[in-house]
Amino acid sequence: MSSAATTGGKRRRPYFWEEVCSGWPSGPAEQGRRGLPAWAEHGLRAVREGLGREPGSVAGMRYLHRVELTDEKRNAERLPRSYEAEHAALTLFGLHQHGAAEPVHRPGIGIGTACHSLRLHLLRETKEMEEVERRRSDQEGGTNGSQSLLFKDTVGRRLFAVSTALDLDELVHHLRSLLPLMRQAGVGLDYTRLHCDLCDWQTPRHGRVLRAWGLQYNAPAPEGAEGAKGKSGSPPAYWAGFDPDRPHAAAELAALRSGLSEEPGTVPAMWAFHRLRMSNELRDRGALTRDLTAEHTALTLFGLHQQGRKRSLHTPGATPGAACRRLLAQDGGPDRVAVERRLGTLLTSLSADELAHHLRGLVPLLRKADIGLDYDGVRQAVRDWDDPYRPDAQSRWRAKWERDFHRESSKV
């Protein structure tokens, strides 16, 4: 068998799924599936036998593991996390590959990317089914309309279940429900990456895994492509198109508030509301960038601010300084000293995290007074506040907000 390079320069034996992929016969898809080597067929049967079984309990799978066990580890109360994760990846690969005409191990395709491709496939399939049923209904003079199944939410719901799993067993259980759909749609998965993700589940690296999945799944359409919005192809921010009268508006705001005090990109309920463009490399790494942190902060603050309000409180041009000035102008509002003290602590924030903390304290006062904020500006300010490559940005934001606060009320 061949070997593969590791990050440390050492050589390792390829994982079983990598060996199956490299040993797949060339030629037509159906012919290739029938021409699999005997060792691959035997191994695929063995890993399917491991579904629902304890790691290390299936004799036929033991030689397929590449995570080595010492006698001490084998006799320990619990097997190493990496071994349990490899068992899960092997069994999922066996289920995915079963009956597939092509190798399902696709290097570079993460869970989020695979689910994104599956969602697009099912949407196209649904549109085709609806068109066929519409034509049939027109021919038969029917009035029942389309009766096709709408798949567009199915993948998202299943990915949400996967992403909120509390342990490895629950995670694998939910992944099993996705794999038959992926196989039917011809969507593959990078099982080496999946093995790494399973190893990192419920560890300090858990957030990176979730962030990568969410960024991949919610990747916006490329600029200029069908579905891209805006003059430059950038989709507008969620708050810019928010309609309080939408049927699910309250549920959407609750999803945004669930991200308060959480690490950006790690809240599956919020994934659908991000509009950030990011390179594929950063998405795949689950990178925690300044832009992602700023958008997350603005989304959670907007969810808190908009709660229970009948009009959109995203108000272009309304800076925190201008909003505090309007707060003073209202009858029965807080006294000037209290407002000046709150704005002062906001303006003297030393970091973006501190700025977000003080904004979170201001927003409930503005909501109570029905005063809006410019969330495009909030996002940009949080993004720039402590950026070492923009050393003058913080002072510019401070000066603008303070100037807006002291402006004559008639001009606010």
Closest of 314, 397, 296 to residue 356, by C-alpha = 296
pTM for this model (two decimals): 0.86
Q: Can you give the pLDDT at residue 412?
A: 40
Enter the DSSP assignment of 11. Answer: E
Could you tell me if residue 201 is inside a domain?
Answer: no
**Domain-terminating residue out of 106, 140, 174:** 106
Could you tell me if residue 195 is inside a domain?
Answer: no
Could you tell me if residue 161 is inside a domain?
Answer: no
**Inter-residue contact 358 to 345 (CB < 8 Å):** yes
**Domain-terminating residue out of 84, 106, 128:** 106
Q: Which domain holds residue 303?
A: 238-411
Q: Can you give the pLDDT at residue 334?
A: 78
The type of residue at 351 is S
Could you tell me if residue 7 is inside a domain?
Answer: yes
**Inter-residue contact 126 to 148 (CB < 8 Å):** yes
- Residue 82 tokens read as 């990496």
Q: Are residues 244 and 385 in the same domain?
A: yes
Q: Can you give the pLDDT at residue 26?
A: 77
Q: Are residues 258 and 404 in the same domain?
A: yes
pLDDT tens for each residue of the chain, 412 residues long = 455 655 555 667 899 999 999 999 876 655 545 678 999 999 999 999 999 999 999 999 999 999 988 888 888 888 999 999 999 999 999 999 999 999 999 999 999 999 999 999 998 887 766 665 666 655 655 544 433 333 446 899 999 999 999 999 999 999 999 999 999 999 999 999 999 999 999 999 999 999 999 999 988 655 544 444 444 456 899 999 999 999 999 999 999 999 999 999 999 999 999 999 899 999 999 999 999 999 999 999 999 999 999 999 999 999 999 999 999 988 777 788 989 999 999 999 999 999 999 999 999 999 999 999 999 999 999 999 999 999 999 999 999 999 999 985 444 4
Q: How far apart (Å, rounded) are the C-alpha atoms in residues 327 and 318?
A: 12
**Domain-terminating residue out of 51, 84, 106:** 106
Q: CB-based contacts of 294: which residues, under 8 Å, 6+ apart? A: 352, 379, 380, 382, 383
Domains: count for the chain: 2
Could you tell me if residue 365 is inside a domain?
Answer: yes
332 conformational bin, left if phi > 0, alpha if psi -120 to 50, beta if neither: left
CA distances from 131 to 124, 184, 225, 275 (A): 11, 21, 23, 30
**Inter-residue contact 207 to 128 (CB < 8 Å):** no
Q: Can you give the pLDDT at residue 7?
A: 52
Chain position carrying tokens 């606010």: 412
Closest of 274, 377, 230, 256 to residue 316, by C-alpha = 377
Q: How far apart (Å, rounded) are the C-alpha atoms in residues 384 and 388?
A: 9
Q: Can you give the pLDDT at residue 222?
A: 52
Q: Can you give the pLDDT at residue 140?
A: 57
| CATH number of the domain bearing residue 243 | 1.10.520.40
Could you tell me if residue 87 is inside a domain?
Answer: yes
Could you tell me if residue 218 is inside a domain?
Answer: no
Q: Can you give the pLDDT at residue 145?
A: 41
Could you tell me if residue 223 is inside a domain?
Answer: no
Q: Are residues 98 and 243 in the same domain?
A: no
Q: How many CB atoms lie within 10 A of CB 216?
A: 23
**Inter-residue contact 240 to 299 (CB < 8 Å):** no
Q: Can you give the pLDDT at residue 212?
A: 97
Q: At what angle do helices 111-140 and 206-217 cross, to 10 degrees?
A: 30
Closest of 52, 16, 53 to residue 37, by C-alpha = 16
219 conformational bin, left if phi > 0, alpha if psi -120 to 50, beta if neither: beta
Q: How far apart (Å, rounded) are the C-alpha atoms in residues 326 and 344?
A: 16
Secondary structure class of 248 (helix, strand, coil): coil
